[in-house]
Amino acid sequence: MLTNEELEARYAYDLAQLADHYEGVFTPEEVADAVAIAREHLEKQASVTDFLPLLVSRMAKEGLLARAQAQGRIAKALPEVLFVSEQNSARSHLAAALCSHFANGQVNVRCAGLHPRGGLDRDVVTVLAERGINLKNPYPMPFTSSLLGAADVVVTLGVPEFFEFPGKHWVNWDIPPVSGEGLGAMRAVADELEVRIRELLDTEVSIAA
């Protein structure tokens, strides 16, 4: 297990790397703010801290990229799909991973939760692994205006009351919460999501692109 000094050294190194990566796009202060927000969010969920710096760096980098795309500072090379659920602990992670897998590099996919809390349901990782899919970012991501701004297609999962912003292509899938319901329920939801996502990639995403 890393000492506090080792953790802080990793955070400092990753912050410097991110600042270099986004030089000319964001100020060092803006990058530091993004890292601080990601760190605060992920530290609440972590039981083991050794991998926290890596996850914090990933989350901050993804958030900054979405913000830059939403503000027109960085051009989008691919259509963007955003999956939104209540907690981002199961359904939206499944959907995002499946969509990314079947899109085969032709679509950029993100997911987020309106009120993320707790950690990722480990059955998500198991079900995806059964299908030969690795989960890229295994943590709940809070919904932000930047994620919305960068998206071309927004798919809500069981949150029909979510306000639809103009200029976005919206799809709502009435899929109930599955976190904590066991592997059988998770597999069934993954099967349903696969069918819906294949259709999404053939219709709505091609329209937005």
Q: pTM to 2 decimals?
A: 0.86
pLDDT given at position 153? 94
Q: Model confidence over 104-162: pLDDT tens digits?
A: 999 999 999 998 877 789 999 999 999 999 988 888 899 999 999 999 999 999 886 66
pLDDT given at position 136? 82
Are 55 and 102 members of one domain?
no
Q: Could you say which of 59, 75, 91 is where a domain stops?
A: 75
The boundaries of the domain holding residue 193 are 78-209
pLDDT given at position 203? 86
Band (84; pLDDT cuts 50, 70, 90): very high
Are 28 and 7 members of one domain?
yes
Are 84 and 167 members of one domain?
yes
Are 15 and 70 members of one domain?
yes
Band (166; pLDDT cuts 50, 70, 90): low
pLDDT given at position 51? 83
Q: Could you say which of 75, 109, 140 is where a domain stops?
A: 75
Are 153 and 106 members of one domain?
yes
Q: Model confidence over 176-206: pLDDT tens digits?
A: 889 899 999 999 999 999 999 999 999 877 6
pLDDT given at position 209? 47
Query: What's the structural domain count of the chain?
Result: 2
Are 40 and 137 members of one domain?
no
Are 35 and 124 members of one domain?
no
Q: Kindly report the three-state secondary structure assignment for every residue of the chain.
A: CCCHHHHHHHHHHHHHHHHHHCCCCCCHHHHHHHHHHHHHHHHCCCCCCCCHHHHHHHHHHHHHHHHHHHCCCCCCCCCEEEEEECCCCCHHHHHHHHHHHHHCCCCEEEEEECCCCCCCCHHHHHHHHHCCCCCCCCCCCECCHHHHHHCCEEEEECCCCCCCCCCCEEEEECCCCCCCCCHHHHHHHHHHHHHHHHHHHHCHHHHHC
Beta bridge partners of 99: none
Are 37 and 100 members of one domain?
no
Are 71 and 91 members of one domain?
no
Q: Model confidence over 50-70: pLDDT tens digits?
A: 788 999 999 999 999 999 999
Are 146 and 201 members of one domain?
yes
The CATH number linked to 54 is: 1.10.8.1060
Are 8 and 90 members of one domain?
no
pLDDT given at position 47? 64
